[in-house]
């Protein structure tokens, strides 16, 4: 009897923890949506912030965020995919591989503010690139690299070995096999990983705050500085004068991130169905 009661209590607690998690998610989303929705308008999205307290829109911050994210993904995608190809297809277990894996794990665990200071020290100052899209993108690259590497490697490893044999059996070289069968077969999952990493880059604050600069600017060249949405939100929230704009920015940021995450999920589900 007591055994049953203990079981019931435990189950109730487990249900509670799961429901808490879900409830928190919805609370955060709801909070941002309810407070931000009134602020959203084409004018808010497509105009510049004005005045001391950033009234008006957030357009340059959206552009800065998309700019730096795109730049980072352009840099990280080929490197991470080819690195994953090496680890999954070419590497022979050994010292070298374990060093690379260890480095990737370490890189993945570096706190983002440390990555930010690193970007400041290396790209902004030592390399004289200055506060810029490029500095921020390069710092983000190191943050994204292990994530994309891992998802890509998993995607490649999930391709059945029979597929590879079939290709080799037809007289394909290793690279032909990888390029023409393995990568296309792994592509949906690789894309999923890339989209998730993109979402991560869009939401990143601590890495970009001291590498991109904080001045509102419309970036044109990669050497231009700017202020991404996350930093704008942080500054608005902490300044606390113009909270409506903060809510609006938070909602836009949330919509972008949820968009990335949901499209990644959709892509993955479509892949699994077949």
d(CA 48, CA 46): 7
Among positions 33, 66, 70, 237, the unique one binding other proteins when judged by CB under 8 A: 237
Binding other proteins (rule: CB under 8 A), the pick from 38, 41, 105, 220 is: 105
Q: Report residue 104 as tokens.
A: 């990737």
Q: Exactly one of 58, 63, 155, 206 binds other proteins (CB under 8 A); which one?
A: 206
Binder of other proteins out of 82, 154, 244, 263 (CB under 8 A): 82
By CB under 8 A, tell whether 112 contacts other proteins.
Answer: yes
Helix ranges (H only) for the chain are: 2-36, 42-46, 59-85, 95-109, 112-119, 133-157, 161-169, 174-177, 183-203, 206-209, 229-239, 243-273
> Contacts with other proteins: how many residues (CB under 8 A)?
132
User: Is 34 one of the binding residues for other proteins (CB under 8 A)?
Assistant: no
Task: Give dist(CA 249, CA 117) in Å, integer.
Answer: 25
| Shortest distance in whole angstroms from residue 41 CB to other proteins | 20
* Spatial contact of 203 and 112, defined as CB atoms under 8 Å apart: no
Q: Which of 37, 90, 218, 220 binds other proteins (CB under 8 A)?
A: 90
Tell me: does residue 1 bind other proteins (CB under 8 A): no
Residue of 162, 189, 170, 164 lying closest to 84 (CA atoms): 189
How many alpha carbons lie under 13 Å from residue 149 in its C-beta half-sphere? 23
Query: Least distance from C-beta 258 to other proteins, angstroms?
Result: 7
**What is the Cα–Cα distance from 227 to 224, expressed in whole angstroms?**
10
Q: Pick from 1, 22, 42, 95 the residue near other proteins by CB under 8 A.
A: 22
- Cα 58 from Cα 247, distance rounded (Å): 12
**What is the closest distance, in whole angstroms, from the C-beta atom of residue 32 to other proteins in the complex?**
7
User: Taking the complex as a whole, how short is the minimal distance between the CB of residue 264 and other proteins, in angstroms?
Assistant: 9
One of 37, 38, 45, 165 touching other proteins (CB under 8 A):
165
């Amino acid at each position: 009897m007591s055994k049953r009661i203990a079981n019931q209590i435990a189950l109730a607690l487990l249900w509670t923890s799961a429901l808490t998690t879900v409830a928190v998610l919805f609370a955060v989303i709801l909070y941002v949506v309810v407070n931000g929705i009134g602020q959203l308008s084409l004018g808010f999205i497509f105009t510049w912030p004005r005045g001391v307290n950033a009234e008006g829109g957030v357009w340059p911050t959206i552009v800065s965020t998309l700019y730096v994210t795109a730049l980072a993904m352009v840099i990280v995608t080929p490197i991470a995919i080819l690195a994953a190809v090496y680890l999954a297809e070419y590497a022979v277990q050994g010292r070298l591989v374990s060093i690379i894996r260890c480095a990737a794990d370490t890189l993945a665990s570096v706190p983002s503010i440390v990555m930010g200071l690193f970007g400041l020290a290396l790209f902004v100052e030592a390399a004289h690139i200055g506060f810029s899209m490029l500095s921020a993108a390069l710092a983000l690259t190191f943050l994204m690299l292990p994530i994309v590497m891992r998802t890509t490697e998993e995607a490649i490893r999930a391709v059945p070995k029979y597929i590879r044999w079939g290709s080799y059996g037809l007289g394909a070289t290793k690279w032909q096999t990888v390029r023409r069968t393995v990568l296309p077969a792994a592509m949906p999952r690789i894309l999923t990983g890339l989209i998730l990493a993109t979402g991560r880059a869009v939401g990143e604050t601590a890495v970009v705050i001291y590498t991109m600069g904080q001045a509102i600017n419309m970036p044109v060249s990669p050497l231009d500085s700017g202020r991404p949405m996350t930093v704008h939100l942080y500054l608005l929230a902490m300044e606390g004068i113009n909270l409506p704009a903060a809510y609006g920015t938070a909602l836009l940021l949330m919509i972008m991130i949820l968009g990335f995450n949901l499209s990644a999920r959709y892509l993955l589900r479509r892949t699994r169905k077949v």
